[in-house]
Structure 1
């Protein structure tokens, strides 16, 4: 073992001397400031000749005894070296945390809520250490909420063709029915036509057909995208054609290029439906793969089932497509909301969130314009609000069929 003592002005000068004389593998055993103001450093390095001699002896088949104390000292030096390397790696982050305790606390809380470290550090870049914790979180919350892209498409008001695309099981059919119910209440049953291109999933068409019979609106099962050209007369001003599509894996979306054949013939808008339960890597792949469908907006489903909503919001912050609606339950009406980024932010941060108010169009009771069978409008409103439960595949309950 090669142990040497060095005297230097500071630690940087001492490290330079150690590297010059003993190499980068040397380990500093101790350091102290002398009476003369100079820094005394003791460094150690396993002697190369010993290792060479040992190897040579082993090559001759000889066994050279090793001093147990020397072996224990070597192991201890290796452990100290590993510890020093770990401390050196952590020293920069620890020093930053010591200088910015409030920002460091905010970063930790964001990461525990599922937000990525990169996003957390970006959001806390403007935190002022002299402000209170409540003030810092208020500004951070507002900044996070304002960073989530939202949009307000005009297709629901002006009419046209709207198709929902997305992976299998994210809730496209349920979302389609929710949009139809919203449009019926605002514009009447004559303003909506339901169309499905999903001929693979069992019960997909029956689910739409059941809703169409209850609401008194037409439901069509098309053979291919080409058949959409014959429905342009139904997408006139104020009238909406809602199109359900077959779910597909993200890796297949880019190859299939849905609606590519009719884009030049039909004025069609697409919305991408994504689930908050997706892992961040999967959600990124979905968002990237379905860009071939040119989505104008996002619908976020299954918010109530997400373990860490912050993970989902981190991915949404990375892209520009705006959020238009989100759902947080299976109830057809009460669990479907317009995009509220502050509510979602509070929910992701596990903070007490204000209750989501019902949309303004619900207060107007526009359901009176809907006529389904012989049920009075007031009775119909109560039934739709209290009894309608729509699952992703399961049809309406039999009791509802009997009521109509």
Structure 2
């Protein structure tokens, strides 16, 4: 084995000497820096690279100093740089929180309630730091509730065809019964016809049949959506045809395109029923997939079962379809309410609800259904107004005009 030593000022000079005298096949056996400060490199031309020994041809570019002290210093500098970068990021957030303490508290409170961090930062951008925490939170709460889209469709008052669409198990059939009960109390049993297109789930038709028998209203099971054209005489002028549909997965909704064949033949309005128990990603997929049904409004069910209602409201804020009703229990009448975004916002933030949904006088529902004609027919204009209509929201800054940027 041919071994040679080279002395140089640094590793670059040593590698130049090795390249000139030994060629690219030389193997670096060791390197150390002497007491005089010169670097001594031992190389061999004949030996094959052993474990832990670098080939000059392979590692000439990335070899770097092999001096133990210098290598340890490099590792220490690299670790120190990483630590400084981490501390810098934390320091920036802490500094922002120190400059905007009210906004930081609001962001933390919103995220704890399930609202997305992006939404929390956007809302906190309008918090005024020169006020009290109660005032800042009141403005933010009002701003949040006012930003949730609501809808006020006229189909319930004027009559027409109304179909409920949505995923399996969200409560479409129960919602249909609740809407029918409201219509019976307003206009009498002659103003409602129940229709179902769900021929897959027998229980859905039986549930409608049981309700129809108690309420004294007709219930029809149709073969296909084209049969709706024969029911146009039952819709309009205060008469309502409520249509139940088969539940379907969100991925199938876009392919099926429900009611696409009869859109031009019948005047049909659709509402999308969604559950508050859906995770945000699932809810976004449902909202996107059922756009092919052209929903005019949303009905939110199972509010009482949602672990974090703020997660659901965050998704509703991202889209334009307005909320018209929500349900928060199993009772047919008492747990079905018109949309009240302030109440839902307080519920999501786990705050005391200053304005709970109005409750109807409690009485056996069978009695209400068996004697629907005895219920007074009250004009729609004289119905009890929604709590939201009596609520004057504070003047708040629009989303685009933030007083300071969130971190």
Instruction: Please state which band the TM-score falls in when normalised by the shorter chain.
Output: 0.7 to 0.9
Indicate if the aligned counterparts of 2:214 and 2:366 stay in contact, CA closer than 8 A. Answer: no
Equivalent position SS for 1:295: coil
Indicate if the aligned counterparts of 1:269 and 1:296 stay in contact, CA closer than 8 A. Answer: yes
CA gap of 1:369–1:302, structure 2 versus 1, over 3 A, is closer
Report the Cα distance in structure 1 between the residues aligned to 2:269 and 2:133, rounded to whole angstroms: 44
What is the aligned partner in structure 2 of residue 240 from structure 1? 240
What is the aligned partner in structure 2 of residue 154 from structure 1? 154
What is the aligned partner in structure 1 of residue 306 from structure 2? 306
Report the Cα distance in structure 1 between the residues aligned to 2:335 and 2:29, rounded to whole angstroms: 78
Q: How is 1:217-236 mapped onto 2 (pairs within 5 angstroms)? A: 217-236=217-236
1:170-229 deviation per Cα after TM superposition (whole angstroms, max 9, x unaligned): 100010000011111111111110000001113110011011111111100000000000
Indicate if the aligned counterparts of 1:368 and 1:377 stay in contact, CA closer than 8 A. Answer: no
What is the aligned partner in structure 1 of residue 144 from structure 2? 144
Equivalent position SS for 1:203: helix
Structure 1 consecutive aligned stretches of length 4 or more whose deviation exceeds 3 Å: 47-50, 55-60, 66-78, 367-371, 375-378
Alignment TM-score, normalising by the size of structure 1: 0.74
What is the aligned partner in structure 2 of residue 85 from structure 1? 85
Indicate if the aligned counterparts of 1:159 and 1:240 stay in contact, CA closer than 8 A. Answer: yes
What is the aligned partner in structure 2 of residue 200 from structure 1? 200
What is the aligned partner in structure 2 of residue 214 from structure 1? 214
Equivalent position SS for 2:296: strand
Indicate if the aligned counterparts of 1:57 and 1:63 stay in contact, CA closer than 8 A. Answer: no
Alignment TM-score, normalising by the size of structure 2: 0.74
1:35-61 deviation per Cα after TM superposition (whole angstroms, max 9, x unaligned): xxxxxxxxxxxx9869x99x9448732
Q: How is 1:286-325 mapped onto 2 (pairs within 5 angstroms)? A: 286-325=286-325
Report the Cα distance in structure 2 between the residues aligned to 1:236 and 1:242, rounded to whole angstroms: 12
Q: How is 1:372-391 mapped onto 2 (pairs within 5 angstroms)? A: 372=370
Equivalent position SS for 1:237: coil
Report the Cα distance in structure 2 between the residues aligned to 1:99 and 1:371, rounded to whole angstroms: 61
Indicate if the aligned counterparts of 1:162 and 1:269 stay in contact, CA closer than 8 A. Answer: yes
* 1:68 positional shift: 7.9
Indicate if the aligned counterparts of 2:166 and 2:274 stay in contact, CA closer than 8 A. Answer: yes
Report the Cα distance in structure 2 between the residues aligned to 1:237 and 1:353, rounded to whole angstroms: 38
Cα RMSD, aligned residues only: 3.1
CA gap of 1:77–1:228, structure 2 versus 1, over 3 A, is same
5+ residue gaps in structure 1?
1-46, 379-404
Indicate if the aligned counterparts of 1:171 and 1:273 stay in contact, CA closer than 8 A. Answer: yes
* 1:93 positional shift: 2.5
5+ residue gaps in structure 2?
1-9, 19-26, 31-47, 54-65, 376-407
Report the Cα distance in structure 1 between the residues aligned to 2:142 and 2:77, rounded to whole angstroms: 51
Check if 1:186 corresponds to 2:186.
yes
* 1:111 positional shift: 1.0
Indicate if the aligned counterparts of 2:163 and 2:243 stay in contact, CA closer than 8 A. Answer: yes
1:305-359 deviation per Cα after TM superposition (whole angstroms, max 9, x unaligned): 1111111001100111100000011111111000000000001111111352426
Structure showing greater Rg: 2
What is the aligned partner in structure 1 of residue 107 from structure 2? 107
Tell me how many residue pairs correspond in the alignment: 328
Check if 1:172 corresponds to 2:172.
yes
Q: How is 1:276-355 mapped onto 2 (pairs within 5 angstroms)? A: 276-354=276-354
Indicate if the aligned counterparts of 2:303 and 2:326 stay in contact, CA closer than 8 A. Answer: yes
Which of residues 49, 68, 79 is equivalent to 1:60? Answer: 49
